[in-house]
Amino acid sequence: MVTTAEVKRVADLARLEFTEDELAALTSELNNVLGYIDQLSDLDITNVAALENLNESVEQSQLRADEVGPCLTVEAALRNAPKAADGYFLVPKVLAQEAKVYAEQDIVGGEEEEL
């Protein structure tokens, strides 16, 4: 069983914000999924061959050919973007900020790590 605190912890790690009602609903949904997975463990699979790769059961002829099709224009793709400039999406520098924090921690902590 998953607790609301565990769902909140994962949401915080993913930088997602939920109301208490949403957290309760997500917790319930996750517990339902996990309960279903537990039911699968009750199945008798003694005569079922192991599948190491999902693609083993797919024949190559069943896959469609890659074909060039119509694409969105840059203007259409950026039309609903919260921020855009010079034909690009503008997003916060999340990774750069985190990398800086990690680098500062390594310098302050005195640990040398080769990248």
Give which of 44, 28, 45 is closest to 36, Cα–Cα. Answer: 28
Q: How far apart are CA 48 and CA 88, in angstroms?
A: 50
Q: How far apart are CA 50 and CA 113, in angstroms?
A: 41
Q: Which domains does the chain have, with CATH numbers?
A: 4-40 (1.10.20), 72-110 (no CATH)
Per-residue pLDDT band for 100 (boundaries 50, 70, 90) equals low
Model confidence pLDDT, tens digit, residues 28-87: 999 999 999 999 888 888 888 877 776 666 565 566 788 999 999 999 999 999 999 999
Q: What is the pTM of this model?
A: 0.44
